[in-house]
Chains A and B, each alone.
Chain A
Amino acid sequence: MGLLSGYVIYSLSFLLIYIALATILHLQFSITGIVNFGLVGFWGLGMYLFALLQTKLALPFLPALILACALVGMTALLLGRVILNLDGQAILVGTLAFATIIEYLTTTEKWATNGVMGLGTIKMPFDFGRSTDQVFFLLILLCLVLLILYTAKLKTSPYGRLLLSIKDNEVLAQSLGKPTFRHKIIFFTFTCILIGFFGALSAPLYNYIFPRMIGPGVTFTIWIALMLGGRTRLLGGMIGIVATVGLFDYFIETVVPIPTQYAEMVPNFKFALYGLMLILILMFRPLGILGDKKKEGVK
């Protein structure tokens, strides 16, 4: 496992977390039609709650994880109740505002979060000596695989069809007797809990967490990745994350030999290049790299 150690395993773990977030965004946006621009808010909330429960209340890993997810769920439920019957743009602004509030709270509420000084140290749930990071990586991988299997199965289930019908034509779904608002709240809460769950799993990886980690950049990166990879496809998020975060943050920074005087420009150029890639993709392949399955029946 020499290759999969240290920085590489750490990077790969985060890659998996980002893929999970992009897959959850696929569930929310591409299947249900909920425009969640506050993704990082739920992720950060899960991360901070888990860290607080572990460091301040000294809760063990599993209770802290469950409690953090439950609290994220309650927050999502409340937010969903307020904004989910508004139109798409209002939901976009509402969720974005929510994420901004969370970021500010982690900065201002120093008594709990230590503000910009950062909160830590957050411990791994187990200790296998030198291979602890690798086991944790496998744990995240397992969670991601389960998430992808769930998403794949959901798409062909009655509930998946209900969600698609809400995305396509909510009023028509209502006319068929479907309580669409209730289902949007339920599914939004459920998927936000998943985001919070992966947030909680991120905390031990970071070890120390800071408010700037949960800035809007995370949300934008994941949105760009999903659009890039193919928003209508199960693996679109994965492809998109590999093509953005994987390519720029890890491959170019760690493998490609860039002269030191240019190296510090990479992070600055990153978002510009994401943007450029997005424009090119939207121009030439509007549904992303994977595109759309050819609609059956179209002649």
Chain B
Amino acid sequence: MRTKALHLQNVVKKYGGRTVVNVPDITFGTHGIEGLIGPNGAGKTTLINLISHKVGMTQGQILYYKDEKEIDISNKSFDEISRLGLVRSNQIIQDFESLSIRESMLLSLATPKYEKFYNIFCDKELRKSTEQEIERYLDYFHFDNPDGHALSAGEKKLLDIIRCMLLKPNFLLMDEPTAGLPQDQTDKVVELMRRKTTEEGMSILIVEHDLDLIWKVSENVFFMAEGEILIQGVPDEVRKNQTVINKYMGEGSNA
């Protein structure tokens, strides 16, 4: 068991009068890979959006732990949180249409040092210093043409994950990372996640509807329904829990 990475206190999100997320007290990141499951509309994606500050919360506090320091990220901006090492991948496919696959990866790797309007001659230096890392990912995932644009939904999804991984986050939020990917690519993503968490100490929280994947990879599972996290525990406990069966998997399910 590792030290916690995120601590949410009294986090509430309301749209109009409707409470879509209500989390009194929860800790994420005590395991390498954690899963967040729940029926549609349970508030999973909203919770991810709240943590990464893509949307603001109505009330509450989010504490983030990095290098044994406690940082209150409740009022930090979206990009600031990413720079602190709390990164998210996207559920809906997102891409930069002007950038090729390789350029997109270079964008992710470019530090502020390279990104100055007067510093226009540093491209070679950046490409050279990042070449190995980029090649490793390109070898691993096999894109048809790394200097072309990501074409299929699958390529874009993988590129999204690679961009996040290249940022070397401490804590990675993945919203349906393998949705729409073929099985062999899903396996590669899973293997990559395992390697990152065991070798580099990254913590990952996955939101998924693919329960087989959740039971297989997560060490700790949170079950969310109607905006609240009702149950957490090791996969085997959660899948046998009566509430989870009633609210999510349905009677007689042996998923």
Contacts and interface: CB of A to CB of B under 8 A. Distances in A.
Interface of A: 150, 153-154, 156-162, 164-165, 167-169, 171-180, 183, 186-187, 190, 295-298
Residue among B52, B103, B107, B144 with max Cβ neighbours from chain A (10 Å): B107
B79 A180 contact: yes
5 contacts: A159-B115, A168-B98, A176-B87, A177-B82, A179-B79
B145 A158 contact: no
B122 A175 contact: no
A80 B235 CA distance: 51
A28 to B, nearest CB: 12
Interface secondary structure of B, over-half rule:
loop
Contact of A158 (B79, B82, B110): B110
Interface string B140-158: 0000110111010000000
Interface of B: 52, 54, 77-80, 82-83, 87-88, 90, 94-100, 103, 106-108, 110, 114-117, 119-123, 126, 144-145, 147-149, 151, 163, 167
Given A296-B147, A297-B144, A150 B120 contact: yes
B119 A157 contact: yes
A183 B82 contact: no
Given A168-B98, A168-B99, A171-B78, A187 B151 contact: no
Q: Which 6 A-B pairs have the closest CB atoms?
A: A297-B148, A177-B82, A158-B114, A177-B83, A158-B110, A168-B96
A183 B115 contact: yes
Given A158-B126, A168-B97, A296-B100, A176 B107 contact: yes
A157 B121 contact: yes
B120 A161 contact: no
A159 B78 contact: no
Nearest to A187: B117
Contact of A297 (B83, B94, B145): B145
A266 to B, nearest CB: 39
A296 B79 contact: no
Given A164-B96, A174-B82, A178-B79, A156 B123 contact: yes
A176 B114 contact: no
B123 A172 contact: no
Contacts of A168: 95-99
Nearest to A297: B148
Given A162-B110, A175-B78, A176-B79, 9 more contacts: A158-B114, A162-B107, A164-B98, A169-B96, A171-B78, A175-B82, A176-B82, A176-B163, A298-B148
Contact of B148 (A172, A183, A296): A296
Nearest to A164: B98
A190 B83 CA distance: 25
A165 B116 contact: no
Nearest to A165: B96
Contact of B120 (A159, A171, A174, A298): A159
B118 to A, nearest CB: 8
A175 B87 contact: yes
A169 B95 contact: yes
A157 B107 contact: no
Residue of B95, B117, B145, B148 with highest tally of chain A CB at under 10 A: B117
